[in-house]
């Protein structure tokens, strides 16, 4: 089921405006497509609520970060095995064009998080 909506997009003004963690965060895998209208960028972000994803842009850099929360676990359950990585993630992509004036739209579908970037 596809779910589209406005997402939180911050235009990055300076590196210092967000807090860099000391340790490396996990990185979702990504596919980047070119299409007649522009670019489609698809992130493997199953189990991540769209509101937990933050997209930042600065010139040709696209930063997608957020947090994956375990929304399944319930009171009284315990783990037997854990392989999926939760908590914060961050993915920085360098794209071959300036994003400053691009129109960006996000979509969440079947566990993918897709960014539609239309270039004029």
Partner 1 sequence: MPESTTPEQEKRTDELKPAGEAKILELPILPLRNTVIFPSGISPLTVGRPLSLAAAEAALATEEKLLGVVAQKTDGDGDPAASNLYQVGTMVVINRMMRSPGSEDTLHLIVQGQERFRILEIIQEAPFFKARVELLPEPAREKTPEVEALQRNINALVQKALTLLPNVPPEIRSIILGAEDSVRLAYFLGSVLDLEVAQEQALLEASTEGELLHHMHTYLTREVEVLEIRSKIANQAQEELGKAQRDYILREQMKQIQKELGDAEPEQAEAALLRERIESADLPDEVRVETERELRRLERLPAAAPDYHVIRTYLEWVLDLPWKKRTEESLDLNNARKVLDEDHYDLDDIKERILEHLAVIKLNPKTKAPILCFVGPPGVGKTSLGQSVARSMGRKFERMSLGGMRDEAELRGHRRTYIGALPGRIIQSLRRVGVNNPVMMLDEVDKLGMDFRGDPASALLEILDPAQNFSFRDHYLDLPFDLSSVFFIATANTLAPIPPALRDRMEVIRLEGYSEEEKLHIAKRYLIPRQIKEAGLGEEQVQITDEALAALIGRYTREAGVRQLERTIGRLARKVALKVARGEGDVFTITPNDLEAYLGHETFFHEVARTNLPPGVATGLAVTEMGGEVLFIEATLLPGAKGLTLTGQLGEVMQESAKAAHSYLWSHADELGFDCQEKLERNGVHIHVPAGATPKDGPSAGVAIVSALASLCTGRPVRSETAMTGEITLSGLVFPVGGIKGKVLAARRAGMKRIVLPRRNEQDLKDVPEEALRGLEIVFVETVAELLPQTLTPEGESAGESHKPVAETAPCAEEKVGNEVRVEGGARA
Does 66 bind partner 1 (CB under 8 A)? Our answer is yes
* Burial profile 83-100: b = 16 or more Cβ within 10 angstroms, e = fewer: eeeeeebbbeeebeeebe
Does 15 bind partner 1 (CB under 8 A)? Our answer is no
Does 60 bind partner 1 (CB under 8 A)? Our answer is no
Cα angle vertex 27, ends 26, 30, to 5°?
A: 160
Tokens describing residue 65: 């970060």
Instruction: Closer to partner 1 by CB, 24 or 36: give it.
Output: 24
Does 61 bind partner 1 (CB under 8 A)? Our answer is no
Instruction: Closer to partner 1 by CB, 73 or 92: give it.
Output: 73
Distance, CA of 118 to CA of 5 (rounded, Å): 16
Size of the residue set binding partner 1 (CB under 8 A): 30
Distance, CA of 117 to CA of 120 (rounded, Å): 10
Binding mask 30-59 for partner 1 (x = CB under 8 A): ---------------------xx-------
Instruction: Closer to partner 1 by CB, 12 or 32: give it.
Output: 12
């Amino acid at each position: 089921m596809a779910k589209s909506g406005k997402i939180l997009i911050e235009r990055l003004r300076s590196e210092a405006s967000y807090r860099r963690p000391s340790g490396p965060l996990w990185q979702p895998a990504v596919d980047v497509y070119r299409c007649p209208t522009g670019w489609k960028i698809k992130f493997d972000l199953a189990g991540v609520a769209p509101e937990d994803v933050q997209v930042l842009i600065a010139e040709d850099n696209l930063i997608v970060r957020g947090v994956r929360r375990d929304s399944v676990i319930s009171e009284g359950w315990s783990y037997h095995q854990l392989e999926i990585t939760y908590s914060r993630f961050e993915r920085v992509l360098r794209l071959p064009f300036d994003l400053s004036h691009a129109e960006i739209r996000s979509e969440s579908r079947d566990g993918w998080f897709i960014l539609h970037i239309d270039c004029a």
